[in-house]
Amino acid sequence: MIRLDKFLSEMGLGTRSEVKKLIKTGQIAINGTVAVKPETKVDTDADEVSVNGRIVKYQRYEYYLFNKPSGCVSATSDNVHDTVMDYITDAVHDDLFPVGRLDIDTEGLLLITNDGVLSHELLSPSKHVAKTYYARIDGEVTWDDIIRFKEGIDIGDERPTKPAELVIKKSGSVSEIELTITEGKFHQVKRMFEALGKRVIYLKRISMGPLKLPDDLKTGTYRALTQAETDMLMQIKSGK
């Protein structure tokens, strides 16, 4: 249950004082009856709120799939750089944040939401959510590297990395690979290759758990998750 004025302003109908005016002037109805008190309590699951006859559905959480460009930081504010949030221009709520971090020069899939519980589940080390990256590597990537990644690599932390799956797409003076990891250590992909004496020259995340970066989602743009994508995330959120 939330106050009617909060409901309306959370759903983007204006500031608290703007929506109070809508209420006072009889433009809002709850279950077909005009509601004139901003403090009226609304059951967000059961009540039907309408503005001048148009039903407004309550949505507590927002979920966006963003194709992060290089040059912006995965944070909600920064004194120097653009943040990923600068790209999310039509969110209804003002409490959205990126789920996890990609380096400033990394591109690709980033989930933006205000669902803290889901974020926690996706980032929790015990959940082993798989993340796949496409990378270009300066140098030849070999079958031996596949084995090294599978065995786990010492990147200078207390423990070696967990087994990671390396797929070589092209091997040459510049190689192309896909790497799937189930952890999220700082600069993990770059450090894993560095430990083998190779340098990542381009990095892009192409999947995270059940979410895949759509081919047609241009770098720097985003879209709301589909119902199927949200349903898959809700399974993770509920601990399944």
Told to check if 23 binds ligand URA by CB under 6 A, we report: no
Q: What are phi and psi of 7, to 5 degrees?
A: -50, -50
Site stretch for ligand URA (CB under 6 A), options 9-17, 102-110, 121-129, 160-168: 102-110
Q: How many CB atoms lie within 10 A of CB 7?
A: 23
Is residue 144 flagged as an active site residue? no
Q: Which of 90, 103, 154, 216 is catalytic?
A: 103
Considering only 203, 208, 211, 233, the residue that binds ligand URA (CB under 6 A) is 203
Options 3, 127, 136, 187; binder of ligand URA; rule CB under 6 A:
187
For residues 75 and 20, give the distance between their C-alpha atoms in angstroms, rounded to a whole number. 33
Closer residue to ligand URA, CB minimum distance, 7 or 222: 222
Of 122, 188, 209, 211, the residue at the interface with ligand URA (CB under 6 A) is 188
Dihedrals phi, psi of 2, to nearest 5 degrees: -135, 160
Is residue 206 classed as helix, strand or coil in its secondary structure? strand
Q: Is 106 in the site for ligand URA (CB under 6 A)?
A: yes
In angstroms, the CA 90 to CA 99 distance is 18
Residue whose tokens read 């690709």: 108
- Figure out which of the listed residues 20, 190, 198, 204 binds ligand URA, where binding follows CB under 6 A: 190
Residues facing residue 51 across a β-bridge: 28, 54
Q: Quote the least distance from Cβ 42 to ligand URA, whole Å.
A: 41
Handedness of CA 224, 101, 109, 229 (dihedral sign): negative
Q: Which residues are part of the catalytic machinery?
A: 103
**Using CB under 6 A as the criterion, which residues of the chain lie in contact with ligand URA when the complex forms?**
102-103, 106, 187-190, 203
